[in-house]
Protein backbone atom coordinates (compact mmCIF):
# COMPACT_ATOMS: atom_id res chain seq x y z
CA UNK A 1 0.00 0.00 0.00
CA UNK A 2 1.30 3.44 -0.90
CA UNK A 3 1.29 6.28 1.60
CA UNK A 4 -1.13 9.15 0.90
CA UNK A 5 1.77 11.62 0.80
CA UNK A 6 3.95 9.73 -1.72
CA UNK A 7 2.68 11.56 -4.81
CA UNK A 8 3.22 14.99 -3.26
CA UNK A 9 6.73 13.99 -2.23
CA UNK A 10 7.57 12.87 -5.77
CA UNK A 11 6.07 15.99 -7.37
CA UNK A 12 7.12 18.73 -4.94
CA UNK A 13 9.96 17.34 -2.83
CA UNK A 14 10.58 16.94 0.88
CA UNK A 15 10.82 20.65 1.74
CA UNK A 16 7.36 21.37 0.29
CA UNK A 17 5.95 18.30 2.04
CA UNK A 18 7.35 19.38 5.41
CA UNK A 19 5.98 22.90 4.86
CA UNK A 20 2.52 21.59 3.93
CA UNK A 21 2.59 19.33 7.01
CA UNK A 22 3.32 22.30 9.31
CA UNK A 23 6.78 21.05 10.19
CA UNK A 24 5.86 17.42 10.87
CA UNK A 25 7.82 14.75 9.01
CA UNK A 26 8.27 11.02 9.35
CA UNK A 27 11.39 8.93 9.03
CA UNK A 28 9.66 7.03 6.19
CA UNK A 29 9.16 10.29 4.28
CA UNK A 30 12.77 11.32 4.73
CA UNK A 31 14.07 7.91 3.65
CA UNK A 32 11.82 7.94 0.59
CA UNK A 33 13.21 11.40 -0.25
CA UNK A 34 16.71 9.89 -0.25
CA UNK A 35 17.95 11.02 3.16
CA UNK A 36 20.53 8.83 4.90
CA UNK A 37 20.33 7.73 8.54
CA UNK A 38 23.14 10.12 9.61
CA UNK A 39 21.40 13.02 7.85
CA UNK A 40 18.16 12.24 9.72
CA UNK A 41 19.94 11.92 13.09
CA UNK A 42 21.87 15.18 12.74
CA UNK A 43 18.99 17.67 13.37
CA UNK A 44 17.71 15.43 16.18
CA UNK A 45 21.12 15.33 17.82
CA UNK A 46 21.48 19.11 17.40
CA UNK A 47 17.99 19.56 18.90
CA UNK A 48 16.66 21.45 15.89
CA UNK A 49 14.08 18.66 15.56
CA UNK A 50 12.23 16.70 18.24
CA UNK A 51 10.59 13.29 18.18
CA UNK A 52 6.81 13.46 18.57
CA UNK A 53 6.42 9.67 18.24
CA UNK A 54 9.02 7.05 17.31
CA UNK A 55 9.99 7.88 13.73
CA UNK A 56 7.91 11.08 13.56
CA UNK A 57 9.54 14.45 14.08
CA UNK A 58 8.65 18.11 14.44
CA UNK A 59 11.07 20.37 12.60
CA UNK A 60 10.52 23.52 14.65
CA UNK A 61 11.20 24.35 18.28
CA UNK A 62 7.87 25.96 19.15
CA UNK A 63 4.78 24.37 20.65
CA UNK A 64 3.11 21.55 18.75
CA UNK A 65 -0.47 22.42 17.85
CA UNK A 66 -3.49 20.15 17.82
CA UNK A 67 -3.45 19.69 14.03
CA UNK A 68 0.24 18.86 14.11
CA UNK A 69 -0.36 16.25 16.79
CA UNK A 70 -3.12 14.66 14.70
CA UNK A 71 -0.85 14.48 11.66
CA UNK A 72 2.02 13.08 13.73
CA UNK A 73 -0.29 10.35 15.05
CA UNK A 74 -1.47 9.53 11.53
CA UNK A 75 2.12 9.25 10.26
CA UNK A 76 3.03 7.07 13.23
CA UNK A 77 0.02 4.77 12.75
CA UNK A 78 0.89 3.79 9.17
CA UNK A 79 -0.36 4.03 5.61
CA UNK A 80 -3.77 2.47 6.30
CA UNK A 81 -4.57 4.84 9.18
CA UNK A 82 -7.22 7.55 8.99
CA UNK A 83 -8.89 9.98 11.30
CA UNK A 84 -12.49 11.10 11.31
pLDDT tens for residues 14-56? 999 999 999 999 999 999 999 999 999 999 999 999 999 999 9
What is the rounded average pLDDT of the residues 3-9? 91
6, 54, 66 from 16: Cα distances, Å? 12, 22, 21
Quick check: 1 pLDDT over 80?
no
pLDDT tens column, 51-81: 999 999 999 989 999 999 999 999 999 888 8
Q: 57-84: buried (b, 16+ CB within 10 Å) or exposed (e) per residue?
A: bbeeeeebeeebeebbebbeeeeeeeee
Amino acid sequence: MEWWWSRQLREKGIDALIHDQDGIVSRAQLLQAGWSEPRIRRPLRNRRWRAVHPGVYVTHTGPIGYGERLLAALLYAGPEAAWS
